[in-house]
Amino acid sequence: MKFALGIEYDGSQFAGWQMQKHGTRTVQECVEKALSSVANQPVQVVCAGRTDTGVHATGQVVHFECDAVRDEKAWVMGVNTQLPDDVASVWAKSVADDFSARFSATARQYRYIILNRTARPAILNKKVTWKHGEFNVEAMHQAAQALIGEQDFSAFRSSACQAEHANRNMHWVKVSRQGDYIYIDIEANAFLHHMVRNIVGSLMMIGQNVEPVLWMADLLRGKDRNAAGPTAPADGLYLVKVTYPQETAIDPSVILPSFS
Encode pLDDT of 152-191 as tens digits. 999 999 888 877 898 999 999 999 999 999 999 999 999 9
pLDDT for 22 beyond 90? no
User: What pTM was estimated for this model as a whole?
Assistant: 0.95
Residue 114 shares a structural domain with residue 227: yes
Residue 150 shares a structural domain with residue 92: no
Residue 92 shares a structural domain with residue 117: no
Predicted local distance difference test score (pLDDT) of residue 19: 87
CA–CA dist 194, 93 (Å, integer): 30
Encode pLDDT of 72-84 as tens digits. 888 999 999 999 9
User: Which residues are designated catalytic?
Assistant: 52
pLDDT for 119 beyond 80? yes
CA–CA dist 65, 230 (Å, integer): 40
Give me the CATH number covering residue 18.
3.30.70.580
Residue 111 shares a structural domain with residue 126: yes
CA–CA dist 221, 240 (Å, integer): 29
Residue 82 shares a structural domain with residue 162: no
CA–CA dist 67, 1 (Å, integer): 6
Domain end marker among 89, 104, 119: 104
Q: Indicate whether 252 belongs to any domain.
A: no
Residue 43 shares a structural domain with residue 55: yes
Residue 58 shares a structural domain with residue 96: yes
Closest by CA to 99, choosing from 217, 223, 229, 5, is 5
Residue 67 shares a structural domain with residue 187: no
CA–CA dist 21, 96 (Å, integer): 31
Closest by CA to 168, choosing from 140, 193, 203, is 193
**What kind and span of H or E run contains 171?**
strand 167-178
pLDDT for 219 beyond 90? yes
CA–CA dist 245, 98 (Å, integer): 13
Q: Which 8-state DSSP code applies to residue 247?
A: G
Domain end marker among 104, 132, 148: 104
Domain residues for the domain of 188 are: 107-240
Residue 41 shares a structural domain with residue 81: yes
CA–CA dist 66, 190 (Å, integer): 28
Q: How many domains does the chain have?
A: 2
Encode pLDDT of 87-112 as tens digits. 999 999 999 999 999 999 999 999 99
Give me the CATH number covering residue 116.
3.30.70.660
* Helical H segments across 109-178, by residue range: 137-144
* Helical H segments across 77-166, by residue range: 79-80, 137-144
Evaluate the CA torsion angle 26, 10, 1, 244 in order and state its sign: negative
Residue 156 shares a structural domain with residue 65: no
Residue 46 shares a structural domain with residue 170: no
Q: Indicate whether 249 belongs to any domain.
A: no
Q: Indicate whether 254 belongs to any domain.
A: no
Residue 157 shares a structural domain with residue 183: yes
Q: Indicate whether 225 belongs to any domain.
A: yes
